[in-house]
């Protein structure tokens, strides 16, 4: 269920919203196989009505399942946002859609979350990538079974001089 706010309730006082929003409700399709949002978004928000707009402030927390772009190891990336989250216009060309006196905060939250995604997720700052830039493959040669190191495509690209 999307995160809906009745603007009529906001006319008398601000609202405090706290809870979780399922990842499916966020409809985040990062189109990046290195970043997946499958866990629920945790929110603690204050919503108030200003003249002609709605201000959403508070805290958002979302744990992303990522793969390091250097070593391809899986890791968790904790995304946390605090402060002003979004500002929704109720008038003008860019006004938020109001249905039965309710405004859906989900698209605004989704946009702000996507802007906070890591561009190139790395498991740790000092990650050195795949070991030595080589891929080791074991080849069995009869009963001996010797390990043979095969140069990766990256080594060939490193030889190029620009």
CA 113/CA 37 separation, integer angstroms: 10
Q: Where are the domains of the chain?
A: 4-116, 131-162
- Tell me the per-residue pLDDT of 48-83, one tens digit each, with 9 for 90 and over: 999 989 999 999 999 999 999 999 999 999 999 998
pLDDT at 87 > cutoff 60: yes
pLDDT at 140 > cutoff 80: no
CA 84/CA 57 separation, integer angstroms: 4
CA 70/CA 34 separation, integer angstroms: 11
Report the pLDDT averaged over residues 120-125. 91
Look-up of token digits 């070991």 = 131
Q: What is the mean pLDDT of the chain?
A: 83
Contact (Cβ atoms closer than 8 angstroms) between residue 45 and residue 19: no
């Amino acid at each position: 269920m999307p995160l809906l706010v009745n603007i009529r309730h906001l006319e008398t006082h601000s609202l405090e919203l706290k809870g979780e929003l399922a990842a499916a409700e966020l409809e985040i399709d990062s189109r990046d196989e290195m970043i997946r949002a499958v866990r629920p978004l945790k929110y603690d928000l204050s919503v108030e009505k200003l003249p002609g707009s709605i201000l959403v402030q508070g805290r958002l927390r979302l744990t992303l399942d990522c793969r390091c772009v250097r070593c391809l190891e899986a890791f968790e990336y904790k995304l946390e946002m605090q402060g002003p989250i979004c500002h929704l216009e109720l008038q003008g060309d860019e006004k938020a859609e109001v249905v039965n006196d309710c405004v859906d905060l989900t698209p605004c939250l989704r946009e702000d979350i996507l802007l906070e995604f890591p561009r190139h997720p790395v498991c740790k700052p000092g990650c050195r990538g795949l070991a030595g830039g080589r891929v080791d493959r074991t080849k069995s040669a009869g009963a001996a079974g010797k390990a043979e190191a095969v140069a990766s495509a990256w080594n060939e690209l490193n030889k190029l001089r620009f």
